[in-house]
Amino acid sequence: MARTVWDSTLGKKTVMAVSGLIMLLYLVVHMIGNLKIFFGAGEFDHYAHWLRTVGEPFMHYEWTLWLVRIVLVAAVVAHAVSAYQLSRRDIRARPSKYVHKRPRASYATRTMRWGGVILGLFIVWHILDLTTGTVHPGFRPGHPYQNVVDTFSTWYGNVIYIVAMLALGLHVRHGFWSAAQTLGAGSRTRDRALKTVADVLALLLTAGFIAVPVGVMTGVVS
Amino acid sequence: MKLTLRVWRQKNADADGAMSTYEVDGISPDMSFLEMLDTLNEELILHGEDPVAFDHDCREGICGACSLVINGDAHGPERTTTCQLHMRSFEDGDTIDIEPWRASAFPVIKDLVVDRSAFDRIIQAGGYITAPTGAAPEAHATPVPKPDADFAFEHAECIGCGACVAACPNGAAMLFTSAKINHLNVLPQGAPERETRVLDMVAQMDEEGFGGCTLTGECATACPKGIPLMSITGMNKEWLRATRKVSKR
């Protein structure tokens, strides 16, 4: 059964839709958590520490966090692998282009593939920057507030982050609605509502995430 | 009207093709696009040249034989079939690009004619119902609710021309396949094969080398019969349902 699902274009799309929705749910939680930075270093660092103790005493220290990480890595890998395989298939299915060119589809729709690649690269940088601190000069483990302020005090930190968040907004805008169609949840009466939810989600996520670097740049967060 | 045509010429499936430029004069705005091409071909024959090969049959917009990507649009600028497109949709002196459907599952046979038998094989995989032959059954024997009948008819309008594949940036046949599946799956007559139909037709669609759906909506915009994009959503729903049901057996 799993084999037939994975071999089918519709099955791969289903994998993309489900993994995409898992990541989207995480992003909403992540964005809300980030906004705590506007309430000072104490609250933000306390929240960051709490993320490691969630579920105690049932869960051991950091177990819940690692569980979430494992699910997220699985979702990213499943999403990327199916996207790669579907894209390869799509390009093979239309090898010769039309001589007469005309603009096709919306910007959000056309940028799904490259937008996805940008987001993938961003995730790698983001983890190396603020989780492991590998590419973060002067990284202080256990002091996320200071680390965030450091990152957004550099021009490249701001540029990478803001570009990625704009790409995220576009990706979510087409992705959320598409996932609903892939899972068969769309209908003519529900279409407007789904498109509105997609737009609102995209806007809120982009604005919510970008608020942090903007806060640092304007000195609201320091 | 005087027009400049840039037409895809390709001797056969194995030959390399290219755009060739032709001038046609004396075109009436009331001519259909195919009659305009007939005029060009008559001239080509008169000059001893090979006429442009293109598909056509009923010329009434109901058979699905005619094709052509005109100025980048499947079936041209109006939402209809090429045979029902009239030259009044163009201006005197226009340059018109005419190309065949482009998809690896629709190989070019000659000039503007492509092999669409992949569609036939998708139909063979499940686009039918099992019914005893003989006289037509009594009409009231199988009642169909009006909304279901309307839904089935909307999808039954698909004439299988392949404009959806031609317009899709991924060369996908999702709209065609979904129209056929939705048409039959909603009706009581199609119920016995409801699961196998969607699974087999989707598998055949993949087998033929069509691409996947990225929901750009190009197919539904190009469709001369107005099959809605939501048709694909319906197919996805049927496919997921059938996958669950079959795995339980």
What domains can you pick out in chain A, each with its CATH number? 2-93+105-217 (1.20.1300)
Last residue of a domain, one of B65, B86, B109: B109
pLDDT value for A35:
97
- Please report residues of B whose CB lies closer than 8 A to that of A1: 243, 246-247
Judged by CB atoms closer than 8 Å, whether chains meet at B169 and A183 is answered as no
pLDDT value for A77:
98
Model confidence band, residue A1 (pLDDT cutoffs 50, 70, 90): low
Give, in degrees to the nearest 5, the angle at Cα B190 between B120 and B248. 100
Same domain, B56 and B169: no
Q: Are B76 and B86 in contact (CB under 8 A)?
A: no
Backbone angles phi, psi at B91, to 5 degrees: -105, 150
Same domain, B183 and B79: no
Rounded Cα distance, A199 and A49, in Å: 33
Same domain, B231 and B127: yes
pLDDT value for A107:
83
Last residue of a domain, one of B59, B88, B109: B109
B138 torsion bin: left (phi>0), alpha (psi -120 to 50), beta (else): beta
- pLDDT score of A63 more than 80: yes
**Which residues of chain B have a pLDDT value below 70?**
none
B181 min Cα distance to partner chain A (Å): 14
Residue A100's contacts (CB-CB under 8 Å, 6 or more residues apart) are B69, B71, B72, B97, B99
A80: helix, strand or coil: helix
pLDDT value for A31:
97
- Please report residues of A whose CB lies closer than 8 A to that of B8: 99
pLDDT value for A81:
97
Q: Which residue in B72, B211, B217 is closest to A94 by CB distance?
A: B211
Per-residue pLDDT of B55-86, as tens digits, reads 999 999 999 999 999 999 999 999 999 999 99
Whole-number Cα distances in Å, B27 to A136, B82, B98 = 70, 16, 16
- Please report residues of B whose CB lies closer than 8 A to that of A102: 71-73
Residue A15's nearest CA partner among B240, B178, B200 is B240
pLDDT value for A49:
95
Same domain, B120 and B237: yes
- pLDDT score of A40 more than 80: yes
B70: helix, strand or coil: strand
pLDDT value for A51:
95
Average pLDDT over residues A133-147: 94
- What is the complex's ipTM, to 2 decimals? 0.91
Residue for token pair 């995220």? A168
Same domain, B90 and B144: no
A40 torsion bin: left (phi>0), alpha (psi -120 to 50), beta (else): left
Per-residue pLDDT of A196-210, as tens digits, reads 999 999 999 999 999
pLDDT value for B249:
72
B155 min Cα distance to partner chain A (Å): 14
Same domain, B158 and B210: yes
Q: Which residue in A8, A102, A181 is closest to B72 by CB distance?
A: A102
Same domain, B11 and B123: no
Q: Average pLDDT, whole number, for chain A?
A: 95
Instruction: Provide the 10 A C-beta neighbour count for residue A112.
Output: 21
The pair of three-digit structure tokens given for residue A93, joined into one six-digit string: 């299915």
- pLDDT score of A3 more than 90: no
Instruction: Provide the 10 A C-beta neighbour count for residue B82.
Output: 29
Same domain, B236 and B149: yes
Chain A residues in contact with chain B using a Cβ-Cβ cutoff of 8 Å:
1, 4-5, 7-14, 86, 89-102, 104-105, 109-110, 112, 174, 177-178, 180-188, 191
Whole-number Cα distances in Å, A22 to A29, A71, A72, A178, A195 = 11, 9, 8, 14, 19
Same domain, B97 and B149: no
Rounded Cα distance, B173 and B242, in Å: 20
Q: What CATH code is carried by the domain that includes residue B242? A: 1.10.1060.10
Q: What CATH code is carried by the domain that includes residue B77? A: 3.10.20.30
Rounded Cα distance, A122 and A117, in Å: 8
- Structural domains of chain B, count: 2
The pair of three-digit structure tokens given for residue A63, joined into one six-digit string: 């177990």
H-state helical runs in chain B: 33-46, 117-124, 146-156, 163-167, 174-185, 194-207, 218-222, 230-248
A21 min Cα distance to partner chain B (Å): 16
Same domain, B120 and B105: no
Average pLDDT over residues A142-159: 96
Give, in degrees to the nearest 5, the angle at Cα B89 between B84 and B94. 125
B69: helix, strand or coil: strand
- pLDDT score of A163 more than 80: yes
Same domain, B196 and B135: yes
* Structural domain boundaries enclosing B130: 116-248
Q: Are A187 and B230 in contact (CB under 8 A)?
A: yes
pLDDT value for A109:
85
Q: With residue A102 as reference, give the H or E element that holds it.
A: none
The pair of three-digit structure tokens given for residue B194, joined into one six-digit string: 């409801």
B136 min Cα distance to partner chain A (Å): 34
Instruction: Please give the share of chain A, as a percent, with pLDDT higher than 90.
Output: 90
The pair of three-digit structure tokens given for residue B52, joined into one six-digit string: 């442009």
Judged by CB atoms closer than 8 Å, whether chains meet at A104 and B218 is answered as yes
The pair of three-digit structure tokens given for residue A66, joined into one six-digit string: 């690692």
H-state helical runs in chain A: 2-7, 9-34, 41-53, 63-93, 107-110, 112-130, 144-151, 155-182, 191-217
Rounded Cα distance, A213 and A218, in Å: 9
Whole-number Cα distances in Å, B117 to A65, B55, B65, B122 = 53, 13, 12, 9
Q: Which residue in A91, A95, A184 is closest to B237 by CB distance?
A: A184
pLDDT value for A25:
98
Q: With residue B56 as reference, give the H or E element that holds it.
A: none
Q: Which residue in B19, B103, B230 is closest to A187 by CB distance?
A: B230
Q: Are A82 and A90 in contact (CB under 8 A)?
A: no
Residue A93's nearest CA partner among B210, B215, B101, B122 is B210
pLDDT value for B246:
87
Same domain, B237 and B128: yes
Last residue of a domain, one of B109, B142, B172: B109
Any bridge partners for residue B3, and if so which?
Answer: B24
B131 min Cα distance to partner chain A (Å): 29
The pair of three-digit structure tokens given for residue A156, joined into one six-digit string: 């490249």
Average pLDDT over residues A17-40: 97
